[in-house]
């Protein structure tokens, strides 16, 4: 989902971690190959990550599957690529269930660096209505209308023009990070 100014739970993020920097996908990284979204299996990305598959095989390029509930916004230079982004989600398995690495603002396009946003919820399908038990919830805060709060829709496309509405960005990546009950992680 887009974020402009978040009124959500925005967790502060400290300095860049000293974690080893996992290597990234082996393709040309410019979305010119046939595309990991096609074919019988997806190309493994980020093979250094500590997950069941030693990397991620579940993701989409060029689209943003995330949905807003909680939000953590991370930027360059802490986040240099999609693997840094996924690694930050892995560090927050108690609050992160999916991530998106894309140009999220005009500023990010101008800087040439995609951002990393971590969420606990997915994009909702078009006709879903959510209801919340407000009385028994904690930390209730207003959602920014720009965050498309809990309103269903098709999975949005990622763009790389400054208006973020014209030139598609096939290199953007988003996907799930599932912390399984046996302690393993799939992505
Ligand atoms: C969501 O609410 C709208 C408007 O009340 C309704 O038309 C629609 O059927 C609801 N969707 C579902 C999945 O119940
Ligand atoms: C909130 O939780 C309490 C305790 O479980 C329950 O008694 C109460 O009915 C709940 N309130 C709502 C509005 O669901
Ligand atoms: C993209 O956004 C700009 C600025 O809001 C607007 O002027 C333009 O018409 C939009 N283009 C498309 C294709 O929606």
pLDDT, tens digit, for every residue of 84-136? 999 999 999 999 999 999 999 999 999 999 999 999 989 988 888 777 777 88
Query: From first to last of its 187 residues, what are the pLDDT tens digits of the chain?
Result: 544 333 333 333 323 333 334 444 444 444 334 455 555 678 999 999 999 999 999 999 999 999 877 788 999 999 999 999 999 999 999 999 999 999 999 999 999 999 999 999 899 888 887 777 778 888 777 666 666 556 788 999 999 999 999 999 999 999 999 999 999 999 9
- The predicted pLDDT at position 25 comes to 43
- Please name the residue whose Cα sits nearest to atom 4 of ligand 1: 129
- DSSP E strand stretches across 93-161: 98-102, 115-122
With a 6 A CB cut-off, is 129 part of the ligand 1 pocket? yes
Which burial class, exposed, middle or buried, applies to 5 when counting CB atoms under 10 A from its CB (0-12, 13-18, 19+)? exposed
- How far is residue 45's CA from residue 32's CA, in Å, rounded to a whole number? 16
Give 87's DSSP letter.
H
Ligand nearest to the CA of 167: 3
Select from 136, 137, 138, 140 the residue to mutate for testing ligand 2; criterion: most ligand atoms less than 8 Å from CB.
Answer: 136
Q: What percent of the chain has pLDDT over 70?
A: 74
With a 6 A CB cut-off, is 128 part of the ligand 1 pocket? yes
Q: Are the C-beta atoms of 56 and 45 separated by less than 8 Å?
A: yes
Select from 124, 129, 153 the residue to mutate for testing ligand 1; criterion: most ligand atoms less than 8 Å from CB.
Answer: 129
With a 6 A CB cut-off, is 4 part of the ligand 1 pocket? no
Cα-to-centroid distance, 130 and ligand 1 (Å): 10
Where in the chain are the domains?
Answer: 59-121+154-182
């Amino acid at each position: 989902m887009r974020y402009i100014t978040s009124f959500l739970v925005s967790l502060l993020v400290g300095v860049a971690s000293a974690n080893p920097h996992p290597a990234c996908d082996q393709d040309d990284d410019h979305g010119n190959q046939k595309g990991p979204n096609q074919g019988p299996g997806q190309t493994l990305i980020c093979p250094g990550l500590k997950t069941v598959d030693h990397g991620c095989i579940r993701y989409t390029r060029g689209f943003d599957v995330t949905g807003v509930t909680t939000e953590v916004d991370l930027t360059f230079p802490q986040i240099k690529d999609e693997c840094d982004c996924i690694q930050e989600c892995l560090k927050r398995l108690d609050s992160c269930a999916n991530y998106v690495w894309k140009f999220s603002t005009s500023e990010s396009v101008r800087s040439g660096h995609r951002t990393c946003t971590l969420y606990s919820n997915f994009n909702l399908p078009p006709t879903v209505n959510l209801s919340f038990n407000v009385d028994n919830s904690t930390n209730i805060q207003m959602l920014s209308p720009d965050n498309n709060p809990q309103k269903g829709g098709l999975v949005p496309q990622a763009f790389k023009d400054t208006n973020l509405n014209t030139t598609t960005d096939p290199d953007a990546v988003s996907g799930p990070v599932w912390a399984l009950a046996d302690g393993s992680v799939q992505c």
